[in-house]
Structure 1
């Protein structure tokens, strides 16, 4: 029989689990679903030398901000971690997660520079992208849904409350005739089957919709015909379905997308409009999943930087150039670096569409290109993936000695790691602003401004 323990929850971990520490030796218990300040009864399901993972059994003393989750699959699905607490508490928890990451990893107190987490304009129905794995089960039927927490077992769902409503309608259009589509779902163990993921995307402001079929090998003509027929008459009120693309990913592993795509029906890209800027991108390119909050975040980043018409800036990990369009007016020239080929082409297109001739886009990995750049950059802008910046990038920044570094991050842990390196190289942390890009989840976006010069005044985000 597994051990049961009564615990007082102290804080929250980076994955949303409650953390309790045993008096005396500091042994740590992780309790998914528990909130700071609660007293709970939990069952130990995994025990290691210094910590244990538990399963919540009873809430002996609930937090006053505990709420009932809106999603019927909450707790099983691994997508959300904070539906069981009020939105105001979510914001407080995310601010605290950022503080603790800097204290634990960077050994920097941020109390004098951090501001409270900026709420998302929408708490529900905000997400403009959904990736659903498709798998062939043991009985030979295709299943689609989301992965269970910490596993690759599927939970078939009917809808997701954090998705744009139009994406749920696209999901319904896809899932009901799935068996009749006659395209085998993927088998991870055998690396067999055809259809690995279905990805739906929406321009929250443009109201354009696009579907992407991620396949192990190219679809046949007859399979393409059936897919085209499925989407031909699809219509959503106040939205326009623009096309279907195929993305081929023949590699073994967890990476969702491959390098090669083609149009199956309609067009292969969609657009979004953020604060009057028109942004085009294809179904495989990175774009912030919360357009409503992205508009606020990009405007805030622009406000962090003074207008320096004679200076040059470098933006690394620049994606499709969405933030570039907000930053370009500040500089004589903005050089962008991005490794995803279609995103680089999108940056060039978006610069032209929005009449910016001072954005120069290069394709390649940031760590491979920075050492060959000869310009004297006054400002460097970073927006890396969750893994943070490559050490070569940080080292090159320290050699360049730009006056300002603006860092946008979706992972407080790797942000704190990189900020510590910049701090040790002589940069002062001027501003740390969390943004809630992902309501109902434990994830938090941050903007950091660092400077070698005097302290700057930054307008607080609204």
Structure 2
């Protein structure tokens, strides 16, 4: 087996993160994508004596476990890679993958509470970020998601199962409107063009909708007619915010050089476990609202009795989990790197009448050691790379009896748990929460206890 060879094989094992491992002869085949039981054709990217990395070219035969009806975009869109697998089976797969990661790091002896399914496995997303482009060179304007394995081709996902009809109406009416105007879409290679992105956010519990059209400054186009078109749509939710973001950044990411309010306000409201939150166009908020309520309820159960305790909320974002804990706590201190999120966290605390919450901006690895107060309980909810080793050392140095770790990446979670063990923390219990049905991702909540 050598580079560029074309091979065919049956997918054996799905690993966390959307990769698979299969055996072909005496070689271990690693591939991005795939479902156990599929027969596939793939091209060899790298080959060694006992291991090869390959790229899937074609699915020759479906897996026996693919018995669910996927959307019309499945297999073309790069989004829901396991939508064809029934939801209960998806949960079994994710649970096994997480447990394998724990076992691979020799983490034993804890209470495993299984996996909690999302309240909705479809129509669950409260935010979508769409991109303008075309599906083929010089084709008609499209607006949606990248095709699977393609950096340029954009598919208009008007049959997406992850969002409700309000998202679909805004998406389709927007692409039709701008196609008629013959405005050029922004090309990342040449940095020429006008139309860049459409971001839609919805308050699931408040029924408020935000539409944010993102363009470059290369055209002087009046958005008044577009705004009126949106307001005349028969959406279930009330459109309370229509925004126009100017983005001249070179990166293929939504950023703001200028924000123009075309209608209403520059935020929507959302409610979570009896608390109120304002969500700006660029602030982080869990994309599965009903799932987030379950996630934070699990974390609160793991925390248990925290009456009159001092709580550290590290990587606090907009302060959601800290405020969920604040009702009984003596004091909640939050640390978050992104200053805008810290401002939002403090504003949300005021909105909820929580006077015992204080959120500060800073890098957790550098800021936490400057805190003079000793926490009774520490909650960490880091980004995908996990917790820096220096931060683990300083967090452990406080000697808190309990740490609750909320992870969006069990691969880095288990490595961090090994580090925490060096400072006398053992895993007491673990539970998974599926926030992202039909995708390879899952959240994991861990309770650590100080044993020496």
After TM superposition, the score normalised by the length of structure 1 is 0.88
How far the C-alpha of 1:200 sits from its partner, in A, is: 0.5
Residue number in structure 2 paired with 1:460: none
Residue number in structure 1 paired with 2:371: 373
How far the C-alpha of 1:202 sits from its partner, in A, is: 0.8
How far the C-alpha of 1:130 sits from its partner, in A, is: 0.6
What SS class does the counterpart of residue 424 from structure 2 fall into? coil
How far the C-alpha of 1:393 sits from its partner, in A, is: 2.2
Query: Would the alpha carbon gap of residues 428 and 15 (structure 1) be closer, same or farther in structure 2, given more than 3 Å must change?
Result: closer
1:146 to 2:145 alignment: yes
How far the C-alpha of 1:81 sits from its partner, in A, is: 1.1
Q: 1:126–1:163: 8 Å Cα contact kept in structure 2?
A: yes
Residue number in structure 1 paired with 2:325: 327
Residue number in structure 1 paired with 2:285: 287
What SS class does the counterpart of residue 150 from structure 1 fall into? coil
Q: 1:382–1:408: 8 Å Cα contact kept in structure 2?
A: yes
How far the C-alpha of 1:122 sits from its partner, in A, is: 0.6
Residue number in structure 1 paired with 2:160: 160
How far the C-alpha of 1:252 sits from its partner, in A, is: 2.6
1:307 to 2:276 alignment: no
How far the C-alpha of 1:141 sits from its partner, in A, is: 5.6
Q: 2:14–2:34: 8 Å Cα contact kept in structure 1?
A: no
Q: How far apart, in 1, do the equivalents of 2:281 and 2:139 lie? A: 29
Q: How far apart, in 2, do the equivalents of 1:348 and 1:108 lie? A: 40
Aligned ranges for residues 364-403 of structure 1 at < 5 Å? 364-403=362-401
Q: Once the two structures are superposed, what CA deviation does each residue of 1:274-314 show, in whole Å capped at 9, x if it has no partner?
A: 23222221121111111111111111111111333333111
Match among 6, 9, 24 for residue 6 of structure 1: 9
How far the C-alpha of 1:3 sits from its partner, in A, is: 3.1
Q: How far apart, in 2, do the equivalents of 1:378 and 1:306 lie? A: 12
Q: 1:318–1:324: 8 Å Cα contact kept in structure 2?
A: yes
What SS class does the counterpart of residue 294 from structure 1 fall into? helix
Q: Once the two structures are superposed, what CA deviation does each residue of 1:351-392 show, in whole Å capped at 9, x if it has no partner?
A: 222221111122333334223222212222111222222333
How far the C-alpha of 1:208 sits from its partner, in A, is: 0.7
What SS class does the counterpart of residue 307 from structure 2 fall into? strand
Residue number in structure 1 paired with 2:21: 19
Residue number in structure 2 paired with 1:358: 356
1:34 to 2:32 alignment: no
Aligned ranges for residues 244-283 of structure 1 at < 5 Å? 244-258=242-256, 261-283=259-281
What SS class does the counterpart of residue 435 from structure 2 fall into? coil
Q: How far apart, in 2, do the equivalents of 1:219 and 1:363 lie? A: 37
How far the C-alpha of 1:219 sits from its partner, in A, is: 7.5
Q: 1:200–1:212: 8 Å Cα contact kept in structure 2?
A: yes
Q: Which runs of 5+ in 1 are unaligned?
A: 455-462
Q: 2:122–2:163: 8 Å Cα contact kept in structure 1?
A: yes
1:80 to 2:80 alignment: yes
Q: Which runs of 5+ in 2 are unaligned?
A: none
> Across the two proteins, how many residue pairs are aligned to each other?
444
How far the C-alpha of 1:262 sits from its partner, in A, is: 4.2
How far the C-alpha of 1:258 sits from its partner, in A, is: 4.0
Q: How far apart, in 2, do the equivalents of 1:259 and 1:316 lie? A: 29
Q: How far apart, in 2, do the equivalents of 1:371 and 1:182 lie? A: 56
Residue number in structure 1 paired with 2:52: 51
How far the C-alpha of 1:346 sits from its partner, in A, is: 2.4
Aligned ranges for residues 60-459 of structure 1 at < 5 Å? 62-63=63-64, 65-104=65-104, 107-110=105-108, 112-135=110-133, 138-139=137-138, 142-153=141-152, 154-181=154-181, 183-217=183-217, 220=220, 222-237=221-236, 239-258=237-256, 261-453=259-451
Q: How far apart, in 2, do the equivalents of 1:164 and 1:152 lie? A: 26
Q: How far apart, in 2, do the equivalents of 1:179 and 1:425 lie? A: 59
Query: Would the alpha carbon gap of residues 70 and 364 (structure 1) be closer, same or farther in structure 2, given more than 3 Å must change?
Result: same
Residue number in structure 2 paired with 1:457: none
